[in-house]
A = this chain, B = another copy of it.
Amino acid sequence: MPLIQRVMIVGGTHGNEFTGAYLIKKFEQHPHLVHRASFETITLLANPKAFLAVRRYIDKDLNRCFQQVELQDLTLSSYEDIRAKEINYFFGANGKTPVDAILDIHTTTANMGLTVITDEHPFNLRLAAYLQSINPLVNVYVLPQSEQEYSLPSICKFGCTIEVGAVAQGLLQADLFRQTEALIDTALNYLEQYNQAEILSFDSKLTFYQHHGTIDYPRNESGEIQAMIHPQLHFQDYKSLTPGAPMFLTFDGEAIAYEGASTVYPVFINEAAYYEKGIAMCITQRQQAIF
């Protein structure tokens, strides 16, 4: 595998996720924090207009605009469509200054702690395993490449999404800000050591959560939600959910049970931005692997 020449740290892909946006501002003021000897580090506030408006997006979700067919489609001209194409022209594989790895910083209203979202590429899984070995509180959520080919990080092969929560939209939480910064620092160190062909020795057992689908809220014919996340499931991301356990609570106070056949591990439970996407939670299976 060739060396990593250019790494891009991204924040504010969603304008109301402040942690990433303010980390980008900090890195731009103090570039030595993200400087490494063997590669160039670029920072990007991905959706500045949405950040100023304190909204996830202006016209559509920027992190769903990066499918190749859409990037080539001149008829798509929303603010986010144009911005996605601009980012791709600069930093995509055939861009002016293509990047080899992306670290894209997000926050979630779900209680996902420090989460690394990655595809199944061995390089990325090994990066995730390293981050977990340095900080055992790091959760790793594996989403097949086919499920995220519309995302910003999909414009290059390597890297991951950093997803931190629970944080409400439109605000900063100092403890998670600092933990996210430390995670970026560790990821940059890993890429640097990779470039220098240092054999990193670390606990090679990775615990990860493999994406297995999504579950929507109960809704009426008009699409209005009819229930909330059950209090027993609230904030229980990465905990086991067994068949028969309460999942939702209707507005009238009736519990609705999880009816699957086997135990699963939900994540993105009660993510505010997913109400409109028809997702009350994502379902995963817990797995381990040796690296």
| CB neighbors of B among A226-258 (8 A) | 228-231, 234, 249, 251-253
Assembly CA distance A25 to B168 (angstroms) = 24
B-chain residues with CB within 8 Å of residue A178 when the two chains form the complex: 253
- Judged by a CB distance under 8 angstroms, whether A213 is at the interface is no
Assembly CA distance A115 to B13 (angstroms) = 34
> Which of A272, A273, A276: most chain B Cβ within 10 A?
A272
Give the residue name and chain of the B residue nearest to A108 (CB): B168
Could you say which of B54, B168, B229, B276 contacts A54, with CB atoms under 8 Å apart? Answer: B276
Q: What distance in Å separates the Cβ of A43 from its nearest Cβ neighbour in chain B?
A: 14
Q: What distance in Å separates the Cβ of A273 from its nearest Cβ neighbour in chain B?
A: 7
Assembly CA distance A137 to B276 (angstroms) = 33
In the bound complex, do residue B109 and residue A168 qualify as a contact, i.e. CB atoms below 8 Å apart?
A: yes
Interface pick from A72-80, A91-99, A122-130, A169-177:
A169-177
Known A-B contacts A168-B109, A168-B168; the reply to A173 vs B228 at CB < 8 A is: yes
Q: What distance in Å separates the Cβ of A79 from its nearest Cβ neighbour in chain B?
A: 16
B-chain residues with CB within 8 Å of residue A229 when the two chains form the complex: 172-174
B-chain residues with CB within 8 Å of residue A276 when the two chains form the complex: 54
Give the residue name and chain of the B residue nearest to A233 (CB): B174
- Judged by a CB distance under 8 angstroms, whether A39 is at the interface is no
Give the residue name and chain of the B residue nearest to A178 (CB): B253
Known A-B contacts A178-B253, A251-B22, A251-B26; the reply to A172 vs B54 at CB < 8 A is: no
In the bound complex, do residue B26 and residue A172 qualify as a contact, i.e. CB atoms below 8 Å apart?
A: no
Assembly CA distance A25 to B250 (angstroms) = 13
- Judged by a CB distance under 8 angstroms, whether A64 is at the interface is no
Could you say which of B170, B230, B273 contacts A272, with CB atoms under 8 Å apart? Answer: B170
B-chain residues with CB within 8 Å of residue A225 when the two chains form the complex: 172
- Judged by a CB distance under 8 angstroms, whether A180 is at the interface is no
Assembly CA distance A275 to B252 (angstroms) = 35
Interface pairs (27), CB distance under 8 Å: A22-B251, A25-B224, A25-B251, A26-B252, A30-B252, A55-B55, A109-B168, A109-B170, A166-B168, A167-B168, A168-B168, A169-B272, A170-B272, A170-B273, A171-B270, A171-B272, A171-B275, A172-B270, A173-B228, A173-B229, A174-B228, A174-B229, A174-B234, A174-B249, A175-B231, A177-B251, A178-B253
Query: Which 8 residue pairs are nearest across A and B when measured between Cβ atoms?
Result: A168-B168, A170-B272, A174-B228, A109-B168, A171-B272, A172-B228, A175-B231, A174-B249
